[in-house]
Every structure is written in C-alpha cells, then in structure tokens.
Chain A
Amino acid sequence: MDRERFASLLDAYGAEFRRWPAETRADAAAFAAQDAEAAALMADARRLDAVLDAARETVAPSSDLAGRILAFAPRVLRPAFDRRAMLALAACAVFGVVIGYGGGLMAPPPLEDDTYFSMAFEAPLMFEDEG
C-alpha cells in the first residue's frame, strides 16, 4: 500500500480500520506503523470520527412501534372448527360404524325354521274348528 492509496481509504472510511475493506486492513496497519506522515493523517481523520460519534445517539424506537407493526404481520387463518374437536368427531363416527357393524356380527343368526311363526297364526284357526 502506498501513501496515496492509504490517504484515499482514510478519506472514505475514517481512522478506524474495522470500517475499512477487509482485504486492506492488515496492509493499512503495517503502512501506518512505518510511515512518518500516516500518524498525522490518521489524527485528522480520527477527529472527524469523534465529531460524528458525538451524534451517535441510541434512541430506542417507541415502545408501541413493534406492536403496531406486528399487528399487520401475516397470520394463519384459523379453521372454523377446532382441530381437536374435528378429530374427536371423526373418532366418534369411526367408533359408531365399528360398534354397529360388530354388533350385527355378534347378534344370534336368524332362525331358519319358521314353524313357530306359522303355528302362531294357524293355531287360532285350529281352535275355532274344534269349537
């Protein structure tokens, strides 16, 4: 790094090497350490840095600003029914189907012999004939 380049970077970025382009910092520090005029140039730039830093007020944003901003943030639309209620409803439906179908399977099979039914209707006629 020569003095001209050093001075132009100092003009742009000031006396704090941390603000300088990363790739120039080591060369700039080495140049400043060995150049006689560098110290005077840096003192001048440091004075302006100090003046600017006098205006570095850290005013926090208003306490309600974040809340006002977040009020407009995208939101997930809530479903009309609660998800858990929907699951419970579905479980009830499945349970009902299972019980209905299973209950049907467990019931005694219908009688093949319908003699009793026939007799139930025929018997009174038989008594009438006897009377």
Chain B
Amino acid sequence: MIDPDAELVRNAGAGDQRAAEALVRRHLPKMVGVARRMLNDGAEAEDVAQEVFLRVWREAPRWKPGQAKFETWMHRVALNLCYDRLRRRREKTDPDAGVMVADARPLASEEWFARQRAAKVNAALAALPERQRAAIALVHFDEMSNIAAAEILEISVEALESLLARGRRALKAALADVAQDLLGGAEDRAP
C-alpha cells in the first residue's frame, strides 16, 4: 500500500516546515469539512481540526507507514474528537448546542432561501445517529471510496452500506419539504 503522505509526514516530523505546510494545505479543509458535518458548528469544527494537527505533529516523528494510510488515521482522530464533543453536548443537554445561528444580515431572496435549505439539511444531518452521519459525511460529501470510508469507520463495506442506506432513508423522510421546495422551485424557474 503506497501512502501518498508518507514522505511529507516523515519530513514534517524531522522539522521540515515546507512539508508541514504541505500537509496542512492538503488536509486542513477536509478535517474542517468532516468536523463541520459532524458537529454542525464552524468554530468547534476548527477547534477539532487544530487538535487533529497537534496530534499529527506529535505522531509524525515516530510515524511508521504500513498499517493504515495517514489520511485514514487523521479522519479517525477527527471523528473520535467529534464523538467526544457530541457526548459532552448530550451530557450538558444544551438545547442550542450545535445549532447554526442564522446570519442576521439582509440577503437577496435567492441566497436567503439557499441558506434556509442548507440549514434544514444540516439540522437533519445533525439529527442522525453519529455513525450514519459520519458515513454520509465521508461518502456523499467527501466522496471517499467505500473501502476508504469503511476503513476509517473500522467496519466492513456491508456495514457501511447499511449505515448509508439507513441514513439516507431518514434524511429522505426528514427533508421531503426541502426536496419539494428545491425541485419545485427549479421547475418553476425553468423556461
């Protein structure tokens, strides 16, 4: 198995700043993206991404390629940090936790509708069980292969497909009105 990050990780671990910068450029958006899908909170997602990289810097000097790809390991760390935060949220039972606050600035109507739709989809995703949410974040939004996603979640491909199917079924039921609004609106606008 060839790990495309192996050389960068080795060099970053030895103190090469350019290698560290390249790792950040390559993986930071993905880490923030998956944490945002899991937590539905931009600031918390950035905290998670920062924590992931602190662990990367700690592990890089002794990283040995072989078992999992470095990116797989990073995703596992990110997801575990998200699960921890979600667990703490449940313990606090803060009703506002993880709810994106709508921007108060006036928006053009089309943009406003788009944001409303995105907020509804994010809320529906946030209501899914964590593992289903993670599976959909990895396969639908990050467009990872089934094998890579199953490896990150440490499950079989069959189990991944089951999580995806259950998640998509729940989303379909929760978002029927958004589908109607989105596709109905598109049809209305069609010439």
Interface residue ranges, A against B (CB under 8 Å) = 8-9, 11-14, 18-22, 45, 47-52, 54-57, 59-62, 65-66, 68-70, 72-77
User: Contact residue range for chain B?
Assistant: 35 or more
Give the docked Cα–Cα distance between A74 and B13 (Å): 6
Known A-B contacts A61-B28, A61-B46, A75-B15; A50 and B164 likewise in contact (beta carbons under 8 Å): no
Residues of A within 8 A of B160 (CB): 12
Known A-B contacts A54-B117, A65-B28; A12 and B15 likewise in contact (beta carbons under 8 Å): no
Give the docked Cα–Cα distance between A51 and B175 (Å): 8
- In the complex, the answer to whether B168 meets A48 with C-beta atoms within 8 Å is yes
Q: Mark B29-56, 1 if CB is under 8 A from A, else 0.
A: 1001000100000100010011001100
Residues of A within 8 A of B175 (CB): 48, 51
Give the docked Cα–Cα distance between A60 and B121 (Å): 19
Q: Which residue of B lies closest to A61 (CB)?
A: B32
- In the complex, the answer to whether B15 meets A13 with C-beta atoms within 8 Å is no
- In the complex, the answer to whether B17 meets A70 with C-beta atoms within 8 Å is yes
Name the prevailing secondary structure of the B interface residues: helix
- In the complex, the answer to whether A52 meets B28 with C-beta atoms within 8 Å is no
- In the complex, the answer to whether B143 meets A74 with C-beta atoms within 8 Å is no
- In the complex, the answer to whether B28 meets A54 with C-beta atoms within 8 Å is no
- In the complex, the answer to whether B60 meets A8 with C-beta atoms within 8 Å is no
Give the docked Cα–Cα distance between A72 and B54 (Å): 7
Residues of A within 8 A of B162 (CB): 12
- In the complex, the answer to whether A73 meets B172 with C-beta atoms within 8 Å is no
Q: Which residue of A lies closest to B17 (CB)?
A: A73
Give the docked Cα–Cα distance between A13 and B143 (Å): 10
Nearest Cβ on chain A to B187's Cβ, whole angstroms: 12
Residues of B within 8 A of A51 (CB): 117, 121, 171, 175, 178-179, 182
Nearest Cβ on chain B to A46's Cβ, whole angstroms: 10
> Would you call B97 an interface residue if the criterion is a C-beta within 8 Å of the partner chain's C-beta atoms?
no
Other-chain residue from A13, A55, A65 in contact with B49 (beta carbon distance below 8 A): A65
Known A-B contacts A56-B141, A73-B17, A76-B15; A12 and B168 likewise in contact (beta carbons under 8 Å): yes
